Structure 1
Amino acid sequence: MSRIDDSKEFIPVRIAVLTVSDSRTLADDRSGDTLVQRLTDAGHTLAARAITTDDRALIASQLRDWIADKEIDVILSTGGTGLTGRDVTVEAHRDVYEKEIEAFATVFTLISMKKIGTSAVQSRATGGVAGGTYLFALPGSTGACKDAWDEILCFQLDYRHGPCNFVEIFPRLDEHKRRK
């Protein structure tokens, strides 16, 4: 159930998109294109975009670089969340998380169940926080990217969404690092 409070001003978020694939390029990255289109249509800013291969160390390195970039608030990755031997995106994300957002995976699975039934158990979508940055690992299918954006992220990344959202707690994500 989404509630947008139109009396509040929309706050654009700076989002980076990472595609994890051994075969995609920017020219044929449909899932990355889907995320870019949706986030920009919503009024957010594309802060960075890249493609990396299914290599845990390379993925984690790119995530860390973007976490360190104060011009990036959110990282969305697509691809590498399945069960095959090459699917290591979830592990790379967990290598950098300070806190995992366990309910993201649960809500994503519930949404997927409505669309693809029990095949939803094959996705390991995940979300977390590190260095004051939100990170979300989404499956590589365009349908899954649409579902994650349209039914979760577009609301949680909208400051006007109630009763609460990710944007309103940005200032408090790294409060534990401040001197008391």
Structure 2
Amino acid sequence: MHKRIENIKYAVVTVSDSRYNNLIMGKDVSDVSGNLLKKELNAEIYTIIPDNKNMIKGIIEHITESFDVDCIVLTGGTGIAKRDVTVDALKEIIEKEIDGFKILFQKLSYEEVGFSSMLSRAMAGIYKGKIIYALPGSVNACKTALKIIKEETGHILGHIREG
């Protein structure tokens, strides 16, 4: 029996060119999805980065090496547009994919939005003992994913830490 980990420490990263550009230009940044995740997961670490593979890999490495977190949740960049590179970046660094997350997320999304759920490349994986989730940027998709994340992250961490 795997021990469910409690008191999980989260980091939230919003991946968005437009939000990042507004941030560096000193403009108001409306990040409803990122703020929802930050609030619901009680994340102490939150940042916004552009849709850039090197920045995505770099922020994962930075958070993993510099902060005491168990899980990093990214929102944005999981679609099929040319600039949607979050999943591509993560696939270059994660050690194991958690395929069941994508399957379950797509099932729940299909129940909510129908066939357009097939456009999401949401995923989860393990990197240096941490769970990495990549979610779409829409608020409804983040709400759907939170159901899974809140329920299963402690269980997954139990498996990871047990070896």
The TM-score normalised by the length of structure 2 is 0.88
Q: Which one of 96, 99, 119 corresponds to residue 96 of structure 2?
A: 99
Asked if the contact 2:124–2:134 (Cα under 8 Å) also holds between the matched residues in 1, the reply is yes
Secondary structure at the aligned position of 1:94 is classed as: helix
Asked if the contact 1:127–1:137 (Cα under 8 Å) also holds between the matched residues in 2, the reply is yes
What is the CA distance between 1:89 and its match in structure 2?
0.3
Structure-2 separation of matches of 1:31 and 1:56: 20
| Structure 2 residue runs without a partner (length 5+) | none
1:23 maps to amino acid:
S
Secondary structure at the aligned position of 2:73 is classed as: strand
Asked if the contact 1:63–1:96 (Cα under 8 Å) also holds between the matched residues in 2, the reply is no
Asked if the contact 2:15–2:74 (Cα under 8 Å) also holds between the matched residues in 1, the reply is yes
In structure 2, do the counterparts of structure 1 residues 9 and 133 end up closer, same or farther at CA, with 3 Å as the change threshold?
closer
Structure-2 separation of matches of 1:127 and 1:47: 20
Structure-1 separation of matches of 2:160 and 2:45: 19
In structure 2, do the counterparts of structure 1 residues 9 and 114 end up closer, same or farther at CA, with 3 Å as the change threshold?
closer
Asked if the contact 2:4–2:157 (Cα under 8 Å) also holds between the matched residues in 1, the reply is no
Secondary structure at the aligned position of 1:27 is classed as: coil
Give runs of aligned pairs for residues 117-136 of structure 1, distance below 5 A.
117-136=114-133
Structure-1 separation of matches of 2:161 and 2:118: 34
Structure of higher CA gyration radius: 1
Structure-2 separation of matches of 1:22 and 1:30: 15
Any runs of at least 4 consecutive aligned residues in structure 1 with deviations exceeding 3 A, and if so which?
none
1:27 maps to 29
Asked if the contact 1:74–1:133 (Cα under 8 Å) also holds between the matched residues in 2, the reply is yes
| Structure 1 residue runs without a partner (length 5+) | 1-7, 41-45, 159-164, 176-180
1:54 maps to 51
Q: Which has the higher helix share?
A: 2
What is the CA distance between 1:48 and its match in structure 2?
1.1
